[in-house]
Structure 1
Amino acid sequence: MRGGKWIVVAFALTVAGGAQAAGDAAAGQQKSAPCQACHSTDGNSAVGMYPNIAGQHASYTVTQLKALRDGTRKDPVMSPMAANLSDQDIEDLAAFYAGQKVKLGSVPDDKVAAGAQLYRAGNSNTAVPACMACHGPDGKGNAPAGWPALGGQHPEYIAKQLNLYASGERSTDLNNIMRDIAARLSKAEIDAVSQYVSGLH
């Protein structure tokens, strides 16, 4: 992707991210009971297909829950769960989970080199940028820009989302950023980088 486009996107996301209001974490904890079946009490899911939301930037969680509620992002499990959430519910839940600590996974030895290469340097042959350009060298993302934290995320969930972006089924990325990137990733690259970020810190 051309440098100018990245700058415009980063500016737009920074402006959008800065507009988010703060939620009440204590209220969010009280409202989190329906979330616990999939995301556990602290946001660290025990099932690989359900994301870890502990430690995720509140602004990103707010954006995604609103997209799920309003239909711009669709998921058979989460869309019905988000359907009746008010804006205040979403802000409160996001604040609560942002204050929890994500539990890091481990990276299989045979995935470390390939995953690190893609995450830290990208693939110049296929014009895939380094993942850390947006998500940070330690996987903590960029809250003002709206880019999520990835460190400690389940590899199954990451792989599923990359495939959804690649197919165009998920389209919550501004200016097709993730759809453009994911469409150029091979199955082996998706597997390697998904495994790598699980233990990234």
Structure 2
Amino acid sequence: MGEGRTEDQEEKPLKVEKWDHNAVRIALDDAAKKIVLDNLGYVEDFKLIDGRLLICTAAVGFALFALLWDFLHPFPESKTVLITCVLSYFALMGVLTVYANFIEKTTFLLAREKDKAGVDPDIVWKFSSKMPKYDDNYTLTIATTPPEGSERSADFTRSAGEFFDEDGLLTEKFEAKVMELHKSLEKGKKMQ
């Protein structure tokens, strides 16, 4: 029985509480990610997530080292090490905040389009979204950086309500819109 998910579970339509702003944005991001990875066969690139995990691991490492050092050398003796580790932890949390706000920004997916022949380098596709607080407009931006050219991007802004029915189920309009946006960038990809 524990072999994985059945077809019914995979094909179950996405349902969301349509009045929960964050849930709607996250549902649309997840749906776009699934559409791109399933329909286009791209491979997800975990570079941004790995960077965040590396920073968090270093911060937790400092915290664990402080705990271990304090256990082996009780407080008065471990004062300098504890202060150093606590300051390092908070500095890394600052680095994490800068990383999330200025490097990751609103990116929810980096995907690589592999060359079928395996000769050309991968084409990187970056998917990001915005949905301002107290606003129902969802903006999806797709940017691509072909190996031989400069970055191109395209986006659309639509009311999130266009993509959900009365029961909060995601409709096929969203998939069509994502594929249309992707196709608009793909046209200029191989004009050789």
> Normalised by the size of structure 2, how large is the TM-score?
0.19
Q: Which has the larger radius of gyration?
A: 2
Greater share of residues in helix: 1
Choose between structure 1 and 2 for higher RCO, CA contacts under 8 A separated by at least 6 residues: 1
TM-score, normalization by structure 1: 0.18
